[in-house]
Amino acid sequence: MIDPVKQRQLDELAEVEICHDILTNARNELYINFRYLDVALSSFGFAADRAGRGVGTDGFVIYYRPEHLFSIYKRSRTLVNRAFLHMLFHCLFCHMNSRGRRAREYWDLSCDIAVESILDGFYVKSVYRHQPAFRREVYGQLGEKLKVFTAEGIYKTLQDMNLTADRYQRMAAEFYVDSHDRWEQDEDPGIPVERQNKWQDIREKMQTEMESFGEKDDKSSKNLLEQVKAENRERYDYRKFLRRFAVLREEPEIDPDSFDYVFYTYGMSLYKNMPLIEPMETKEVFKIEDFVIVIDTSMSVSGDLVRTFLQETYGVLRESESYFRKINIHIIQCDEEIRSDVTVTSREEMEEYMEHFTMSGFGGTDFRPAFEYVNGLLNKGAFKKLRGLLYFTDGKGIYPVKMPAYDTVFVFMEGQYEDISVPGWAMKVVLTEEDLEVR
């Protein structure tokens, strides 16, 4: 007769072996339909967690409670495949590292909706599932506000919807697949960095493969590719980004960094009231002086987004360390022609402009008139040293061919733009509302 403890150990080993077979078979089946996910699919280990809640991952290992995995498998192999991809997409889109100060329950729901919306767009047998009416309703509501279903965009939209407790619970139950308990349990601060680097590398290789082998033309994969491309874009600290347009100039200001206290104290001790050196009364600083902001006021650009962009840009500029006491900032409104040009030379004028800001235009979009106008200002000597032009737009317009003599940045809001025609000489920045948030 086998010892009960020994028998239980054997049973548990058998369960683990079966569970690993289930997950391995799911991975192999997904390989067949999603060849561009080969590296990502093979990036997980498997481990039983009998005290855990269902299935979940920390970005390195898929953890499962055997009873839960058996239950899913008995219902449908497709559900196991979807759960595998669901966890993989959380990793690809850095959901584990991106919550920040967001409310966890809404962030968890937003991440689940984002990855489920991708899965629901795949019409292959291994993952296809008929969408319940409630799920289609949620997608419809979000689709009115968002072009691409990113977790960040969904989170903000859900917050704006002011969900009741019952509505939130119903949505959470509809989209729940995996436990997120292991997302923020790392005691070693190096682990999140290692995980982020690992999946960034996988994501970049995946984008290359999808674009190289025609997956960008596959309707079911197009949404996934859009999100991969969005995640692969460089993230910007908007304040740091604006500083690249600063110039070096002396400004009246005590410079403690150039002050030598040794000579000062020696002089005071030797001559009682005569220091041998005094602080310099000017300081070399990098600040914004000459600058152009162009606002696309065509009918396709949201007025609310324009106001948000201007308010947050002003929030950065009004900080004392951002620009000189005397500045020269042109704020130009343009659709297919120049509608207005307001020159701001001081903090007071900037505040006055923001207080009475209105948009004008609402025609088509042509970027060329703005550049021709600024080039004309340059020829007239309107700028001492124009470092850059910031063009806020949705990208739907005619671009100039010739590169101007100053840096040019086309700024887009995430999910609200087209950038396929941006010329190679221009910089391209895609910002979320959080990127513009004044801290």
Tens digits of residue pLDDT in 319-371? 644 454 567 889 999 988 999 999 988 778 888 888 888 888 778 889 999 99
Which tens digit of pLDDT belongs to each residue from 249-265? 444 545 555 555 565 56
| Spatial distance between the Cα atoms of 158 and 108, rounded to a whole number of angstroms | 12
- H or E element, residue 29: helix 4-33
* pLDDT for the residue 431: 76
What architecture does CATH give domain 238-251+287-431? 3-Layer(aba) Sandwich (3.40)
* pLDDT for the residue 309: 80
* pLDDT for the residue 286: 46
DSSP 366: B
* pLDDT for the residue 100: 81
| Spatial distance between the Cα atoms of 19 and 22, rounded to a whole number of angstroms | 5
| Spatial distance between the Cα atoms of 431 and 268, rounded to a whole number of angstroms | 54
**Structure tokens given for 41:** 């699919």
Which tens digit of pLDDT belongs to each residue from 149-163? 889 889 989 998 999
Burial of 316-338, coded b for 16+ CB within 10 Å and e otherwise, reads bbeeeebbeeebbbbbbbbbbeb
Provide the percentage of residues in the chain whose pLDDT is more than 70: 76
Any residues with CB less than 8 A from the CB of 177 and at least 6 apart, and which?
A: 55, 82, 83, 86, 87, 112, 116
Any residues with CB less than 8 A from the CB of 32 and at least 6 apart, and which?
A: 126
Q: Which segments of the chain belong to CATH 3.40.50.410?
A: 238-251+287-431
* pLDDT for the residue 332: 94
**Structure tokens given for 305:** 């987004």
Which tens digit of pLDDT belongs to each residue from 212-271? 766 555 666 777 887 787 777 665 666 667 766 665 444 454 555 555 556 556 556 665
* pLDDT for the residue 438: 46
Burial of 77-100, coded b for 16+ CB within 10 Å and e otherwise, reads ebbbbbbbbbbbbbbbbbbbbbbe
- At 209, is the pLDDT very low, low, confident or very high (cuts 50, 70, 90)? confident
Contact criterion met (CB below 8 Å) for 302 and 416: yes
Paired residues of 255 in beta bridges = 280
- At 297, is the pLDDT very low, low, confident or very high (cuts 50, 70, 90)? confident
Any residues with CB less than 8 A from the CB of 234 and at least 6 apart, and which?
A: none
